[in-house]
Chain A
């Protein structure tokens, strides 16, 4: 057993297990993770494999779903189902890495701001105010148009614009915990600031950070999808669920080839919904009032 019996996390785990939606969400997320991990085994074709009309030198584009192509083919005659599986990898990698970046930056700034207060706090919080004033998508678009668009730029851009929520949250938690007696005791016994921050404060505010990481992952998936849909995110031929929908901006594709755009949209919706279920479940599980 990873968690000690009757500890805070043990109770939280039991509460989480009783939450049906949270369990459904966890199961769905795990299924999607498997899809992403085993895409090369599960996918019938490669993500950028072109198919031709039989006996001719023409791409078999916009073929409707069949046994050969479960979800049909796209504008370049590529298998939509295979691209969907490989797209899961890209989408999840971008989301996870950017959340790691935003969590590390946000937690660090929140800890420092909350613990040291005064001038440091004022400066960091004004920086947060500045970044928050720019609508996320504007900032993302600016960053990814200035740089040559690539997966790494997308990851850094999303990480860089979304740390502010974590920073504010962590700062608030630090301010709350800082006044508790055990911190005063640690202070009195001569522990260094670093030791107090990382050994005494951080472990006690992990629960809300975990909730924020979950919600942040869902939001990062949506951001990546929007960026790629607008053409400034993950670039063709690399498939991502967002850029698979780009083609649907043509009314003809939208009306007559629903297999091209409905599947990537639906999986994005499902995955984000599943992660939100997990996030809500975690929040309720960690909240002792419930």
Chain B
């Protein structure tokens, strides 16, 4: 087991180095001069050249990369072009909000997706199954921004049940428990929109695993022993069918982070995605690069954890 984990960790090292190189290259390829803001008649070309030298902008690319990675390891992603805000500060401010949204969507996708998948498998080739399959295909096929807009249109503009955006009602100035419930109230719609696609893939995956498991000999044995249908489905079959679902844990993370970009911008949710969208509009390449790097690292860790989890629950994988 430990050997497997070591091996898996070792393979991740070149990947993480590759991620930093790719992030760095994306930033280097971005048009624009970091000193463009300072070019004005009162500063001479020599002074500009001096500060260019001092900032290391004349260094060879690989030296720049090593200097940059040194700062990143200290948690310093540099400053924004406009306003000179610390990028790590901006991100840390928003990271918790994105985590709240993605984690809720994550929980929702498994809490809803697994039972839907099990139901489809148990009632295989009935109307219920076809209905659920159609629903999950629908969930994969609908553009998330269109679903988001539809949900806002129906639930906040027509029915007025949920707020159309934001994370908290600022004017009300809630504190304590009222603040908490207000956040939940704002969270419902974006969490549903963000999780829909994932619910669909979790349920499809669970269904096909469950269908395979229900064909196994030990299920027939259990039936022959006269066990109750429920006991067979939920005790014998489900346990084994859920093992591969662990792999989706890891796959969900990039999906949800990508989705957060769109969901947050539609619902004005003050998270990293919304920060990213603003960064695109303002051409803040530093922020885009930092978001790329942080997300890619989170994704890599997510995959690592789900691989290790998979190896723990299914000993066959280790060999």
Contact of A276 among B15, B140, B149, B259 (CB under 8 A): B140
Q: Which residues of A contact B92 (CB under 8 A)?
A: none
B145 at the interface (CB under 8 A from A): yes
C-alpha gap A273/B141 in the complex (Å): 5
A27 at the interface (CB under 8 A from B): no
Considering only residues 263-281 of chain B, those with a C-beta below 8 Å from chain A are: 265-266, 276-277, 280-281
Interface residues on A, range: 35 or more
Q: Which residues of B contact A44 (CB under 8 A)?
A: none
A7-15, A55-63, A132-140: which lies at the interface = A132-140
* Contact between chains at A130 and B153 (CB < 8 Å): no
B29 at the interface (CB under 8 A from A): yes
Interface centre among A143, A226, A261 (most CB of B within 10 A): A226
**In the complex, per-residue mask of B284-314: 1 if CB is within 8 Å of any chain A CB, else 0:** 0100110110011101100100000000000
Decide yes or no: A141 and B141 within 8 Å by CB, A146-B29, A146-B30, A230-B262 being known contacts: no
B18 at the interface (CB under 8 A from A): yes
Considering only residues 114-142 of chain A, those with a C-beta below 8 Å from chain B are: 126-127, 129-130, 132-139, 141-142
Q: Which residue of B lies closest to A125 (CB)?
A: B11
Q: Which residue of A lies closest to B289 (CB)?
A: A142
* Contact between chains at B292 and A138 (CB < 8 Å): yes
* Contact between chains at B299 and A135 (CB < 8 Å): yes
Contact of B261 among A141, A145, A261, A265 (CB under 8 A): A141
B138 shortest CB reach to chain A, Å: 7
At the interface, is chain B mostly helix, strand, loop or mixed? helix
Considering only residues 123-146 of chain B, those with a C-beta below 8 Å from chain A are: 137-138, 140-146
* Contact between chains at B258 and A232 (CB < 8 Å): no
How many positions in chain B have a CB within 8 Å of any CB in the partner chain? 50
Decide yes or no: A130 and B261 within 8 Å by CB, A141-B288, A232-B280, A265-B143 being known contacts: no
B201 shortest CB reach to chain A, Å: 12
**In the complex, per-residue mask of A214-242: 1 if CB is within 8 Å of any chain B CB, else 0:** 00001000100110011110000000001
* Contact between chains at B15 and A129 (CB < 8 Å): yes
C-alpha gap A225/B283 in the complex (Å): 21
Q: Which residue of B lies closest to A137 (CB)?
A: B258
Q: Which residue of B lies closest to A221 (CB)?
A: B143
A5 at the interface (CB under 8 A from B): no
Q: Which 10 A-B pairs have the closest CB atoms?
A: A265-B146, A135-B258, A130-B18, A137-B258, A273-B141, A272-B141, A135-B254, A133-B296, A129-B15, A255-B157
What are 7 A-B interface contacts by the 8 Å CB criterion?
Answer: A130-B18, A135-B257, A138-B257, A142-B292, A222-B143, A229-B262, A254-B153
